[in-house]
């Protein structure tokens, strides 16, 4: 247990100091998964043999070839929409139940080359559509902090694995909050990077203009380290780029002294749990005490952003998921008598309810007669929101707001996502800016209250700097 409680970087240090070897570390995590994951349901696919083999290979290397990165020898988990060659990538959908990826995602390659060890693939909402992980076609995942509650989603399996000490860090993908919301619900640090900061090559596409792969970890430093390893230009993703801003020019001694933090008034005017509002405002007060200047700022209404998000993401999903036709890969209906039936039955049988709904809605908002009222207005609004955020970040360094309007809620039957749960997270995706979620307070019942920090494009360094200072205060009791 003591090994498992170490942060990812502390595990790497333990390896370098010879306190334990890679195989011991991997075995410790696999034993933990065996003990707890029947109840948690974080993993869809476990790669025990491959993980042990890689651990033994790393242990056998000569000393001068070891410890080549800050996460060398450290195990991790991947959301099951990120491809690894020869390994199933199901997106938690019957459509891809038997799909084995023929290539590696860039993020996996980068972590693999850095010496990190993949333990397995984690559960998620089907194709990333949901915020409870309940739309998975295969299993339920529960919140390790309270098994009667949802872990959030769509990267709920990744969050649950890290929170349950079944992995020291994991990758998720964030299209409208899918890294940040489960991070907040499970008491973790989660980052949605600047659009283009991390290659999407090998990520099964849901809404290409909005999504980014991001890390979930138990400490800010781990989150930052994983981000530094997976980010950067990749010629296989034309939207990826190097971040000139990510050079950490900040003086670590300075902390948040002199930092300008904005509280978006329109966010705090929205209905939300009292305890969430109080928690985030308390965090604002703490930043102020630490030397930051906190002021209210005017921002676009989050409910307008939410509408634009659901229109754009569904429109893009209807196009991206057109490729699943039962011919080249994916589920094929055995009842089809002609090509038309092959398409319609394969897609009808393969996709779950929520995915079908989003595809239909996406086609509706793109259809003749509706496109101007929905899709074009949503695109125009997204552009306006992006411009508003750019202007705001000339006045403040960071924005501080809640991650979600509510605490992790109880698991209900049905699995229909709570669309309003994405109210505070979707703006960062529409604007393409980085946003970090972390716990700021605990309720009396031990549930985490999440706060969200947002910064200008390419300024993940500011997010990490402020988050580190907050975490360093040991207010929440970080691991």
Partner 1 sequence: MPLQKEELQQLAALCRISLAGEEEEKMCAQLEQLCLLAQCLSEADCGELDALADAPAVTREDVARGQKDKELLLACAPERKDGFFFVSFEEKEGAK
Strand, coil or helix: 427: helix
For residue 57, state whether it binds partner 1 (rule: CB under 8 A).
no
Considering the complex, what minimum distance in angstroms separates the CB of residue 414 from partner 1? 11
Residue with tokens 């309720």: 443
The owner of tokens 């349901």 is 41
Q: Is 457 a catalytic residue?
A: no
Comparison of 256 and 359: residue with beta carbon closer to partner 1: 359
Whether the Cβ atoms of residue 310 and residue 329 lie closer than 8 Å to each other: no
Q: Decide if residue 307 touches partner 1 (CB under 8 A).
A: yes
Closest by CA to 92, choosing from 56, 54, 59, 130, is: 130
Is there a contact between 245 and 459 (Cβ–Cβ < 8 Å)?
yes
Within 8 A by CB and 6+ apart from 394, the residues are: none
User: Among the candidate windows 5-13, 36-44, 99-107, 165-173, which touches partner 1 by CB under 8 A?
Assistant: 99-107
Choose the catalytic residue: 79, 121, 192, 457. 79
277 is an interface residue for partner 1 by CB under 8 A: no
In the structure encoding, which two tokens stand for residue 444, read together? 């009396």
Indicate the residue among 68 and 363 with the shorter CB distance to partner 1: 363
Residue from 233, 383, 391, 412 that binds partner 1 (CB under 8 A)?
383
- Least separation in angstroms between residue 230's CB and partner 1 is 20
Q: 294 pairs with which residues across the strands? A: 261
Catalytic (active site) residue 289: no
- Lay out the site mask for partner 1 across 340-379 (x = CB under 8 A, - = otherwise): x-xxxx-xxx-x----xx-xxx-xxx-x----xxx-xxxx
Phi, psi of 79 (to 5 degrees): -60, 145
Given 178, 231, 313, 318, the catalytic residue: 178
Stretch that binds partner 1, among 46-54, 318-326, 396-404, 445-453 (CB under 8 A): 318-326
Residue 83 lies near partner 1 (rule: CB under 8 A): no
**Minimum Å distance from CB 311 to partner 1?**
5
Looking at 55, 311, 398, 401, which residue binds partner 1 (CB under 8 A)? 311
- Tell me the site size for partner 1, rule CB under 8 A: 62
Q: Which of 260, 277, 332, 442 binds partner 1 (CB under 8 A)?
A: 332
- H or E element that contains 14: helix 8-16
Residues 212-241, mask of contacts with partner 1 (x by CB under 8 A) = -----------------------x--xx--
Instruction: Tell me, yes or no, if 79 is annotated catalytic.
Output: yes
- Does position 304 interact with partner 1 (CB under 8 A)? The reply is yes
Should residue 76 be labelled a site residue for partner 1 when binding is judged by CB under 8 A? no
State how far the Cα of 112 lies from the Cα of 187, in Å rounded to an integer: 27
C-beta closer to partner 1: residue 287 or 351: 351
- Residue 416, interface with partner 1 (CB under 8 A)? yes
Instruction: Give the integer Cα–Cα distance in Å for 80 and 160.
Output: 14
Residue 127 near partner 1 by CB under 8 A: no
- Please, what is the Cα angle at 194 between 354 and 258, to 5 degrees? 125
* Location of structure tokens 């991790």: 76
Contact 216, 7 (CB under 8 A): no
Identify the H or E element spanning 440.
Answer: strand 435-442
State the DSSP string of 347-401. Answer: HHHHS-HHHHHHHHHHHHHHSTTTTIIIIIHHHHHHHHHHHHHHHHHHH-SEEEE
Residue 411 contacts by C-beta under 8 Å, 6 or more apart in sequence? 132, 134, 140, 142, 148, 149, 150
422 vs 461 by CB, closer to partner 1: 422
CA distances from residue 202 to 34, 74, 84, 172, 270 in whole angstroms, order as listed: 28, 22, 8, 13, 37
Return the residue of 64, 338, 413, 477 that touches partner 1, per CB under 8 A.
338
Residues with catalytic function: 79, 154, 178
Q: Which residues bind partner 1 (CB under 8 A)?
A: 99-100, 102-103, 235, 238-239, 301, 303-304, 306-308, 310-311, 314, 318, 325-332, 335-340, 342-345, 347-349, 351, 356-357, 359-361, 363-365, 367, 372-374, 376-384, 416, 419
């Amino acid at each position: 247990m003591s090994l498992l409680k170490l942060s990812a970087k502390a595990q790497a240090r333990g390896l370098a100091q010879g306190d334990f070897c890679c195989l011991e570390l991997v075995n410790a995590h696999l034993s933990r998964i065996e003990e707890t994951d029947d109840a948690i349901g974080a993993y869809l696919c476990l790669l025990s043999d491959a993980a042990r083999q890689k651990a033994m290979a790393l242990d056998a290397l000569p000393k001068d070839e070891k410890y080549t990165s800050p996460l060398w020898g450290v195990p991790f988990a991947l959301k099951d929409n990120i491809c690894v060659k020869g390994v199933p990538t199901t997106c938690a959908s019957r459509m891809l139940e038997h799909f084995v990826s023929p290539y590696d995602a860039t993020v996996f390659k980068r972590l693999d080359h850095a010496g990190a060890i993949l333990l397995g693939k984690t559960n998620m909402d089907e194709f990333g559509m949901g915020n409870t992980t309940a739309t998975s076609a295969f299993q339920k995942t529960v919140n390790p902090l309270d098994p009667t509650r949802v872990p959030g989603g769509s990267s709920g399996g990744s969050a649950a694995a890290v929170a349950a000490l079944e992995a020291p860090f994991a990758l998720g993908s964030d299209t409208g909050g899918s890294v940040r919301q489960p991070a907040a619900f499970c008491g973790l640090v989660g980052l949605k990077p600047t659009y283009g900061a991390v290659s999407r090559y090998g990520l099964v596409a849901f809404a290409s203009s909005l999504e980014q792969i991001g890390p979930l970890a138990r400490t800010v430093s781990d989150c930052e380290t994983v981000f530094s390893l997976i980010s950067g230009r990749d010629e296989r993703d034309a939207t990826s780029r190097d971040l000139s801003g990510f050079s950490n020019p900040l003086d670590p001694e300075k902390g948040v002294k002199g930092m300008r933090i904005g509280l978006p008034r329109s966010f705090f005017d929205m209905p939300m749990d009292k305890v969430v509002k109080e928690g985030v405002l308390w965090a604002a007060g703490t930043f102020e005490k630490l030397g930051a200047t906190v002021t209210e700022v005017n921002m676009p209404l989050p409910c307008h952003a939410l509408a634009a998000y659901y229109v754009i993401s569904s429109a893009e999903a209807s196009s991206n998921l057109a490729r699943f036709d039962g011919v080249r890969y994916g589920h094929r209906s055995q009842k089809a008598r002609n090509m038309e039936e092959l398409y319609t039955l394969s897609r009808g049988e393969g996709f779950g309810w929520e995915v079908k709904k989003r595809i239909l809605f996406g086609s509706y908002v793109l259809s003749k007669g509706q496109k101007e009222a929905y899709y074009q207005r949503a695109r125009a609004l997204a552009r306006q929101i992006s411009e508003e955020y750019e202007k705001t970040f000339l006045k403040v360094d960071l924005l501080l707001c809640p991650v979600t309007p509510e605490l992790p809620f109880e698991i209900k039957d049905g699995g229909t996502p709570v669309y309003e749960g994405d109210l505070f997270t979707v703006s960062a995706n529409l604007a393409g800016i980085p946003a970090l979620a972390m716990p700021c307070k605990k309720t009396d019942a031990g549930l985490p209250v999440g706060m969200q920090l947002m910064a200008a494009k390419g300024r993940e360094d500011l997010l990490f700097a402020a988050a580190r200072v907050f975490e360093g205060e040991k207010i929440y009791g970080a691991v």
